[in-house]
Amino acid sequence: MARALTYNEVGIAVVTDGVRGSDFADEFAFEVTVPDTLAEAIVGVDKATTSFYFDKTVEVKVAFKPTSPSNDQYLILYDNQQEGSGRTFNITIDTGVNERISLNRCAIKTFEGVRGGGKTTTMRVFTLTCEEFNRDTSA
């Protein structure tokens, strides 16, 4: 799919372990953080040498409204990990600009907990670590 020139919020989807997420937080739905260093020049005695890293691991944050049924899916995965029966899972994200991100072998890194009170709802944020990150912007 070729990258769109316009952003369409309707085109956003986060599918975790085959289940499409719903009721994302108002602040953001997802955030993918890629490795900050993929290449580095190291200067030796006589010249510089560039080293390339092939790290495809990423960190992903997914945020839901507290009323979202998707919280239950993530909390089950989180609870299973804490009880020693955790497993990895895959995630597919459609970004809203005809770009698909595939995240493989993911696990929940942290759950920020529950906040309440105030005039508006607060988001529930799950941080995941994924072993592999692939983008697809092909036609």
3 inside domain: no
Global pTM value:
0.80
The model's confidence at residue 139, banded by pLDDT at 50, 70 and 90, is: very low
53 inside domain: yes
26 inside domain: yes
Torsion-angle region of residue 33: left (phi > 0), alpha (psi -120 to 50) or beta?
Answer: beta
Other C-beta atoms closer than 10 Å to the C-beta of 49 total 10
61 inside domain: yes
55 inside domain: yes
What is the average per-residue pLDDT within 100-124? 86
Domain count, the chain: 1
Domain that holds residue 105: 9-136
d(CA 16, CA 77): 11
Q: What does the pLDDT read at residue 48? A: 84
84 inside domain: yes
Question: What is the domain-level CATH number for residue 77?
Answer: 2.30.110
Q: What does the pLDDT read at residue 4? A: 60
2 inside domain: no
38 inside domain: yes
d(CA 39, CA 129): 21
